[in-house]
Amino acid sequence: MPPKAAEAMDDSKGNVQKETNWHALTKEEALAHLGCSPNSRREGLTSQEAKARLERYGPNQLTEKEKVTLLQRIWKQVNNVLVGILVFVAVVSLAKGISTSGEDRVTNFIEVGLITFVIT
């Protein structure tokens, strides 16, 4: 049973091509789909045929994913309400620790350290 094909845009030329589920094809079906003779598997393509296929199908390259920067990864991790609340509480505890003295000051700095540890 041949796999279903879905239409997709070819980015390089803007042509609409059909995508095939190549993993589901037998060797014979794949050769027939590409218009190859059974002998071409053993003999290879001629230079002229290879050039024509390169123009028709494009180069045999994987598309590269867009690189994610360090700041984007950090933002993705901290961009939620719970982390915002924890940051707010850490800032309040830090301000309270700076403004107080004695044992409460140490406790507030410990709270800031623990909250920062939880966030990271």
Going from N- to C-terminal start, the domains of the chain cover: 6-57, 70-119
Q: Residue 87: which residues within 8 A CB-CB, separation 6 or more?
A: 78, 119
The yes-or-no verdict on residue 70 having pLDDT over 90 is yes
The answer to which of 9-13, 54-58, 83-87 has the lowest mean pLDDT is 9-13
The yes-or-no verdict on residue 110 having pLDDT over 50 is yes
pLDDT digits (tens, 9 = 90+) for 28-57: 888 888 778 777 777 888 888 889 888 988
The yes-or-no verdict on residue 27 having pLDDT over 50 is yes
pLDDT on residue 49: 85
pLDDT on residue 71: 93
Q: Distance between CA 120 and CA 101 in Å, rounded? A: 28
Q: Which amino acid is at 71?
A: L
State pTM to two decimals: 0.39
